[in-house]
Amino acid sequence: MAQIGIEARQGRGRRAHRDTARPRLAAPEACTGCTACRAACPRDAIVMVADAEGFLRPAVEAARCVGCGACERACPMLAPGAPDLAPDCFAARTGDHALRLASSSGGIFTELARDTLAKGGLVFGVILEPPALVAIHVAAEDEAGLAAMRGSKYVQSDPRDTFREARAALRAGRPVLYSGTPCQIAGLRRFLGRPDPNLLTVEIICHGVPSPAVFAKYKAELTAERGCPPVSISARNKHYSWRKCSLVSTFADTSENCEDLYTNRYIRAFLADLCLRPSCHRCVAREGRSGADVTIADFWGIEKVCPALDDDWGTSAVLIHTEAGRRAWAACAGRVEAAPVALDQVTQGNPAYLHPAREPRGRAWFMTHFRDNPLEHTLRRALAGSWPERLARHCRTAARRLAVACLGIFITNRGGASSYLHACVTLPASA
Ligand SMILES: Cc1cc2nc3c(=O)[nH]c(=O)nc-3n(C[C@H](O)[C@H](O)[C@H](O)COP(=O)(O)OP(=O)(O)OC[C@H]3O[C@@H](n4cnc5c(N)ncnc54)[C@H](O)[C@@H]3O)c2cc1C
Ligand code: SF4
Ligand code: SF4
Ligand code: SF4
């Protein structure tokens, strides 16, 4: 198949004039992999192909492309939306305690989705598809389908053909709830082109998405360590509490591995921003720009804002942007405990609504080396920095030690030997 990497045909952000049959889409660093261009192509000329870092990107099959421009019109990165800095904001949690325990935050996704199902609709969300536990979007028509969507999958999901499936359902007059990252919602809305009264879009506040290839490497390491593959991975297990959530992997031999989120190597790499998609570091889909009807998130800081809604089993932040969102939220009212809050009370503990994650210096090193080295080792090296950075740090430490030694000699001469020795011994290596 003759493919044109779309990134090789990139304009400067806004749509450039189309002089040949080859489309110009989002720049490589801006492309979110939302699949809107692929879904919009009437000739099926676009395929999503994993790049060297494991992120899916569009590629055009030149022989099929007729230069119609439908993909360009669908690309949300070429025409970012306006921010919504005045949504209706709530702290909220479902009254169904078991549901809240099974959800990442306050269980609001399921509450919104249940209304769509009750009206005979389709709910789109993310599952880890067995046996390889690959994150993909699927449609659910019942409670069992919703259950698999619950919980955050900290890896970029592949929407596959769900944009077209959602459009087909809407054309058939069915209610549709589509959930995903802001860039996926932006892509869906641009692909659909016009508002539909049957559509409800629900985005998460999104810190960023790790590479599927890094997640695959983590699963391979788990398999090698345990001697059998994981059959489920839950990254937000609330066995201890919401704040002290853990990553629980269950294996084919029924054994389990439970790790604190902040000691798990995969989550540490995610939280250190070492394996996020490049577009996440310059994200233009946040701040309500996606056009989502509702934004849901963890309400970090709820203990200060509304202690009555904090029992450490999970509280959601809910941001309502549109009339459709208000109607859906009102339909949940009887099943949800909620209190109105201000936007800055949400963003204080959740800056990801406003600001993208900064790209750390070690990212390039991590993404180049993770395939051939153990994740733990790659993570430590990436965090430690390059050899000139490490050398500079060692020099700084040596200089500090020398300064302390000089100080010590001075103190010793005045009879304070014990404090000098104490200062030398306790000086941290990284100082
Ligand atoms: C990659 C990622 C980054 C996040 N970053 C933040 C953050 O910075 N701050 C914050 O407050 N919250 C963040 N969240 C969202 C948060 O963890 C909860 O998912 C959200 O609060 C919903 O919780 P819930 O209890 O209502 O429902 P749950 O049932 O736990 O929510 C599941 C919902 O998340 C969707 N989902 C799960 N995994 C993915 C995925 N990989 N891609 C797209 N959608 C997915 C499902 O489709 C479903 O709609 C993030 C989630 C993910 C997946
Ligand atoms: S220009 Fe038209 S035919 Fe070519 S890839 Fe884009 S949508 Fe498909
Ligand atoms: S539509 Fe989405 S996947 Fe296609 S180029 Fe634009 S951002 Fe990338
Ligand atoms: S941070 Fe932005 S670009 Fe990255 S996945 Fe989230 S919404 Fe998309």
pLDDT at 421: 43
Counting as low any pLDDT under 50, the low residues of the chain are 1-8, 10-19, 416-418, 420-421, 424-425, 429-431
- What gap in Å lies between CA 244 and CA 260, rounded to an integer? 7
Task: Output the CA torsion 209→213→160→99 (10° steps).
Answer: -50
- Decide: 60 in ligand 3 pocket, CB within 6 A: no
pTM: 0.89
- Decide: 135 in ligand 1 pocket, CB within 6 A: yes
pLDDT at 284: 95
Give distance in angstroms: CA of 82 to centre of ligand 2.
Answer: 27
pLDDT at 390: 65
Copy the structure tokens of residue 342: 């201000």
Give distance in angstroms: CA of 67 to centre of ligand 2.
Answer: 5
**What is the best residue among 7, 14, 15, 25 to mutate for testing ligand 3's pocket, by most ligand atoms within 8 Å of CB?**
25
- Decide: 207 in ligand 1 pocket, CB within 6 A: yes
Give distance in angstroms: CA of 30 to centre of ligand 3.
Answer: 8
Q: Which amino acid is at 271?
A: L
pLDDT at 17: 40
- Decide: 283 in ligand 4 pocket, CB within 6 A: yes
